[in-house]
Amino acid sequence: MQAVENWTQGALAEIALQKFIKERFNIELQIEFRVFDNAVIGQDIVGVKRGRTINPPKSGVSVKSGKENGMVLIVPIKEVESESRRSDYYVFVRVVFPIDVFARFYRASPEFEDMLSVIPEFQPAAAYISGYCEREDLEKRSVPEAGIQEEKYVKCSGMLKNSDKDWRDFASMI
Indicate whether 136 pLDDT > 90: yes
Sign of the Cα pseudo-torsion (96, 101, 102, 105, in order): negative
**pLDDT per position as a tens digit, 58-73:** 999 999 999 888 999 9
Q: CB of 29 within 8 A of CB of 174?
A: yes
Residue 29: pLDDT band with limits 50, 70, 90:
very high
Q: CB of 95 within 8 A of CB of 12?
A: yes
Q: How far apart are CA 116 and CA 77, in angstroms?
A: 44
In the chain, what percentage of residues exceed pLDDT 90? Answer: 62
SS3 of residue 137 by DSSP: helix
pTM of the model: 0.85
Q: Which of 65-69, 79-83, 117-121, 130-134 has the highest mean pLDDT?
A: 130-134
Q: What is the mean pLDDT of residues 22-32?
A: 95
Q: Where are the alpha helices (DSSP H) in 26-157?
A: 77-81, 101-105
Lowest model confidence (mean pLDDT) among 119-128, 143-152, 162-171: 119-128
Per-residue confidence (pLDDT) for residue 137, from 0 to 100: 98
Strand 53-55, strand 45-50: pairing: antiparallel
Domain map (residue ranges) of the chain: 2-71+89-137+156-173
